[in-house]
């Protein structure tokens, strides 16, 4: 059986984590991923600017009611003092781990000198990490990239700064900021970082199958893997990876009945969290991810986007999945994911 990773006083359930993704990893999604075997989950990033703390979006992102421990909250910003205050604010509201975002490549984040834009200024990185670690009495983790651009990879330097600053765990996405999400992630830099520091290192980027996860762990020596986009519409990927790491064998795919139950559960939790109007609108992307590789999925998604009530949305989902086959029939294998480590490496 896999062993968990220690983050301060906490030990994760296993070596397979769900990545924080803005607009995706809300509380209902994190709970579903945990139920399907994710060993650790980090919230969507919350702004460090106090002017935004009272907004509906930020308040919703800071809502951890009923969430399993440890509750990890990601904060984003570029001012050490403001980030320290944001960390305290979140700890006061139930956060048990603070994660600092230095990996987001989005222009709206980088344009305000936050996310991966911070990698251009290692002195500022050190000030931020030291300020946040010093501000709270809970573990602080860091998610970052290999550098600003391919000719300015500085992940090793940032990792040393993180370790010296008291960061409890480092997650490294195998792309630079300039790469955005294009091309293939590379893992040699992650391996070099893991070999150079004593704190736990988590490998992230293009981990989309059990075989790929096992290959990345072996290649990098990382302590855990973090799955992002491959979990969208596929929360069972966590149990598939965990099972493969434990046994060396593939887990049976979910049945159509299990997928229907998971999606309906997800939708009910989503509506309860966001309310009828916002929930109807924001659920569409999740439904689209679930059905994108299924027969008739694109046609169904286009029709589903015209529905104007949550009840109609759920009814349409149930009818669509029921029409695909018997409840005990296995979900068709998705062509969107690699079945062998080399597939994604060559993509």
Taking 50 as the threshold, does the pLDDT of residue 131 lie above it? yes
Q: Which helix (H) or strand (E) holds 138?
A: none
> What value does the mean pLDDT take over residues 260-275?
96
Q: What is the mean pLDDT of the chain?
A: 89
For residue range 177-186, what is the model confidence (pLDDT) as tens digits? 888 788 899 9
Long-range contacts of 146-150 (CB under 8 A, 24+ apart): 146/172, 146/173, 146/174, 146/175, 146/176, 146/186, 146/189, 146/190, 147/119, 147/176, 147/177, 148/116, 148/117, 148/119, 148/120, 148/176, 148/177, 148/178, 149/176, 149/177, 149/178, 150/176, 150/178, 150/179
Task: Report the pLDDT value the prediction gives residue 200, as an integer from 0 to 100.
Answer: 98
Long-range contacts of 149-156 (CB under 8 A, 24+ apart): 149/176, 149/177, 149/178, 150/176, 150/178, 150/179, 152/119, 152/120, 152/176, 153/189, 154/119, 154/122, 155/189, 155/190, 155/192, 155/193, 156/189, 156/192, 156/193, 156/196
Confidence of residue 149 (pLDDT cuts 50, 70, 90): confident
Confidence of residue 331 (pLDDT cuts 50, 70, 90): confident
Confidence of residue 272 (pLDDT cuts 50, 70, 90): very high
Task: Report the pLDDT value the prediction gives residue 344, as an integer from 0 to 100.
Answer: 36
Single out the catalytic residue among 32, 104, 213, 262. 104
Confidence of residue 114 (pLDDT cuts 50, 70, 90): low
| Range from 35-39, 95-99, 148-152 carrying the lowest mean pLDDT | 148-152
Q: Coil, strand or helix: which one is 260?
A: helix
What are the residues facing 102 on neighbouring strands?
144
| Range from 26-35, 41-50, 250-259, 311-320 carrying the lowest mean pLDDT | 41-50
Task: Report the pLDDT value the prediction gives residue 342, as an integer from 0 to 100.
Answer: 38
Taking 80 as the threshold, does the pLDDT of residue 343 lie above it? no
Task: Report the pLDDT value the prediction gives residue 345, as an integer from 0 to 100.
Answer: 33
Confidence of residue 231 (pLDDT cuts 50, 70, 90): very high
Task: Report the pLDDT value the prediction gives residue 109, as an integer from 0 to 100.
Answer: 55
Task: Report the pLDDT value the prediction gives residue 106, as an integer from 0 to 100.
Answer: 57
Q: How many CB atoms are closer than 10 A to CB 113?
A: 14
Task: Report the pLDDT value the prediction gives residue 136, as an integer from 0 to 100.
Answer: 98
At 111, list the tokens: 């344009």
DSSP code string of 4-38? --EETTEE-SSSEEEPP-TTT--HHHHHHHHHTT-
Q: How many residues does the chain have?
A: 347
Confidence of residue 334 (pLDDT cuts 50, 70, 90): low
| Range from 76-90, 112-126, 211-225, 249-263 carrying the lowest mean pLDDT | 112-126
DSSP code string of 151-212? GGB-HHHHHHHHHHHT-SEEEEESS-TTTTT-S----HHHHHHHHH-SS-EEEESS--SHHH
For residue range 4-59, what is the model confidence (pLDDT) as tens digits? 999 999 999 999 999 999 889 999 999 999 999 999 999 988 777 766 666 667 67
Q: How far apart are CA 343 and CA 346, in angstroms?
A: 5
Spatial neighbors of 33 by CB under 8 A, at least 6 apart, are 18, 25, 41, 231, 235, 238
> What value does the mean pLDDT take over residues 317-340?
78
Catalytic site residue 110? no
pTM of the model: 0.90
Q: How far apart are the first and last CA of the chain?
A: 31
């Amino acid at each position: 059986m896999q062993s968990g990773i220690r983050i301060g006083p906490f030990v994760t359930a296993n070596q397979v984590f769900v990545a924080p993704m803005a607009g995706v990893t809300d509380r209902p999604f994190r709970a579903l991923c945990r139920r399907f075997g994710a060993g650790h989950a980090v919230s969507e990033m919350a702004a460090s600017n106090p002017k935004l703390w009272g907004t509906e979006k930020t308040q919703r992102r800071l809502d951890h009611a009923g969430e399993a421990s440890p509750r990890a909250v990601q904060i984003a910003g570029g001012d050490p003092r403001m980030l320290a205050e944001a960390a305290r604010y979140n700890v006061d509201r139930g956060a048990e781990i603070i994660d600092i975002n230095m990996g987001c490549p989005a222009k709206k984040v980088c344009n305000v000198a936050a996310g991966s834009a911070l990698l251009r200024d290692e002195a500022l990185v050190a000030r931020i990490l030291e300020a946040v670690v010093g501000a709270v009495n809970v573990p602080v983790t860091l998610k970052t990239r290999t550098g600003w651009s391919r000719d300015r990879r500085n992940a090793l330097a940032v990792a040393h700064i993180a370790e010296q600053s008291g960061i409890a765990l480092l997650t490294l996405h195998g792309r630079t900021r300039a790469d955005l999400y294009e091309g293939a992630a590379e893992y040699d830099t992650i391996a070099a970082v893991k070999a150079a520091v004593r704190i736990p290192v988590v490998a992230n980027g293009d981990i989309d199958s059990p075989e790929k996860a096992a290959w990345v762990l072996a290649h990098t020596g990382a302590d855990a893997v973090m799955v992002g986009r491959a979990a969208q519409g596929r929360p069972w990927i966590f149990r598939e990876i965990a099972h493969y790491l434990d046994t060396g064998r593939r887990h049976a795919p979910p049945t159509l009945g299990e997928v229907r139950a998971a999606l309906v559960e997800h939708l009910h939790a989503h509506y309860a969290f966001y309310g009828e109007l916002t929930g109807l609108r924001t659920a569409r992307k999740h439904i689209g991810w679930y059905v994108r590789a299924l027969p008739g999925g694109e046609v169904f998604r286009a029709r589903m986007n015209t529905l104007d009530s949550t009840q109609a949305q759920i009814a349409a989902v149930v009818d669509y999945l029921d029409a695909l086959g018997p409840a005990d029939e296995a979900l068709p294998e998705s062509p969107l994911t690699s079945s062998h480590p080399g597939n994604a490496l060559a993509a």
